[in-house]
Amino acid sequence: MTRWITAVLMVSFIFSCDTDSSQIDNGGSVVTSTHSTDHLILGEETAKEQLKEALEGRGQRYTFDTLIRNASTAIAIVEPILFELYGKQQIISERPYEVYLLDGYWYLAGTIPKDWKGSGFEIILSARNGEIIRLTHYK
C-alpha cells in the first residue's frame, strides 16, 4: 500500500507539472497523440513490467535520502491531490498554507480567516519518499 501511495503521489506531481491536462484521459492515462514525435515511447507493456518489478522489490530503487527537499515541491505534490478531493476553490481559499519540515516530515495545513469557525485541510507526508501519513479536512 505504501508503494502504491508513493507511486500515485509521483504520478500526480509529474502530471500536474509537466503534462497538459488535455493529454490525460479520465483514468489518468496519457493519451497518445496521432501526431508524429521524435521521442521514444516505451509503451504500456513496458510500464506494466516495470511496475511489477518495482512491486516485487526488483530493479533499481531511487537513491535519494530525501526526495522532497523544499516547501514549494511539497506544495506542488499535495495541491493536485487536495484539489481533486476537496475542490480547487476550497483549497485555494485556504491559502496561505502553513508549511513546516519537522523531523523528516512535511506538515501542510490550510488557513482560514480568523472570524470563521473550523479549520482547513491538514496533510503530513514523508520528506524521504512522499508517503502520505495523514490527510484530512476539518469542517
Assigned C-alpha cell, 7: 507511486
Instruction: Give the pLDDT confidence score for residue 21 in this predicted structure.
Output: 42
Smallest Cα–Cα separation from 91: which of 116, 135, 56, 121?
A: 121
The number of CA neighbours under 13 Å toward the Cβ of 48 is 3
pTM passes above 0.75: no
d(C-alpha 73, C-alpha 93), whole Å: 20
Q: How confident is the model at residue 7 (pLDDT cuts 50, 70, 90)?
A: very low
Residue 9: pLDDT above 60? no
Domain ranges of the chain: 1-27+39-139
Burial class from Cβ neighbours inside 10 Å (0-12, 13-18, 19+) for residue 16 reads: middle
Per-residue pLDDT tens digits for 62-100: 777 899 999 999 999 999 999 999 999 999 999 999 999
Strand partners, 107: 100, 124
Per-residue pLDDT tens digits for 11-45: 444 444 444 444 544 455 555 555 567 889 999 99
Asked whether the beta carbons of 128 and 67 are under 8 A apart, the reply is yes
